[in-house]
Amino acid sequence: MATYKGIKGQTVSSQASDPASADDAGLLYYNTASGTFKVVLDGGAPIGAWSTGGSMATGRTEIGSAGSQTNALAMGGNMPSPAWSALTEQYNGTAWAEVATLNTPRRASGGLGTGSAALCLGAGEAPDFASHVEEWNGTGWTTVASLPAVRGYTPCGSGSVTAGLCFGGSTTPNHATLLVEKWNGTGWTEVANVNTARRFATGCGTASATLFIGGDPGPEQLVEEYNGTSWTEKTDTNNPHAYVGSSGTTTTATIYGDSYDSPTSQKTEGWNGSSWTEVAEYSQEHGSAGTTRTSASAAAYFAGYGAGVPPGNKGGSCEEWSYADYAVQTVTTS
């Protein structure tokens, strides 16, 4: 049987701060700053939690979104009034601030990119679908080449303003689409279709390596992966997810949000490249909300139906997700 002495040595080391890597799993050490003995535990699956972030200035739902936990963008949306909004807010990890408005009001649009360089994709609910696209440069919006086909009911976006992907959503009333279009920085080209049409789904990754997760009309647990050429079905999520958010890559991702049949579900799942693991639930309903997309370990989920107000209303609360594949625990004696 292996012993601590055989694995880590005879002495207990002293460290000024806690380790920041799962590579130290099993290490017992003395933290000189806190004056306590600690041990690094291997999480096996993501260890994470949700915490309260800064509330948006204006509550809404059906938001286009992009960015990271410390630089997020909320584009347009469905407000109590008007139903189609051009309002844009930016998040710095602490607070939201209104910035330059979109050129065209929109709701149920898609988004991709960062908080400093993003695209807002399509818009609408039947029969008012749109194909227009706007690009954000960190200070203002510019109308760029439209999608080849109208796209509403929250299309998914992944990638960047120089290499992006638009998929999911609807091109005709009450029907999800198989259509996928790729952006090269100046124009759009149709590429391989997804295998199963879905709207109100979520996606994350790059233009050549993307996950397409959940959605309506279902099956809401379905996951597909794009490799730059074609789409392949992957392991289903453990729970149904539609009207949801996700962040990360094809090898490490997090999905969070409601399902069509369970609109108050707060299920969160982590992806390791081959399977899904349930992790901590968030605290409030966020149906058709905004989401950051760049990191599976640090994400924000904001506004939407519920979101700090009675279910069915349009709130502005924000929750932040963080996880690691290890945990540090203080050693106690009794």
Chain segment 109-145, per-residue pLDDT in tens: 999 999 999 999 998 876 788 999 999 999 999 999 9
Give DSSP secondary structure letters for 49-91: EEEE-PPPSS--BS-EEEEETTEEEEEEEB-SS-SSEEEEEEE
- Write the single-letter amino acid at 267: K
Q: Model-level pTM?
A: 0.82
pLDDT digits (tens, 9 = 90+) for 53-69: 998 888 888 889 999 99
For 239-285, how does the pLDDT look when each residue is reduced to its tens digit (9 = 90+)?
888 888 899 999 999 988 765 555 556 788 889 999 998 887 777 66
Residue 290 has pLDDT above 70, yes or no: yes
Q: Of 226, 233, 171, 183, whose CA–CA distance to 204 is shortest? A: 226
Share of the chain above pLDDT 90, in %: 47
Residue 310: partners with Cβ closer than 8 Å, 6 or more residues away: none
CB burial string 272-309: b at 16+ within 10 A, e below: eeeebeebbebebbbbbbbbbbbbbbbbbbbbbbbbbe
CB 179 within 8 A of CB 172: no
Q: Is 6 helix (H, G, I), strand (E, B) or coil?
A: helix
Taking alpha carbons only, the member of 198, 191, 248, 205 closest to residue 221 is 198
| Integer angstrom CA distances of residue 271 from 93, 200, 298 | 24, 20, 14
| 75 — pLDDT class (breaks 50, 70, 90) | very high
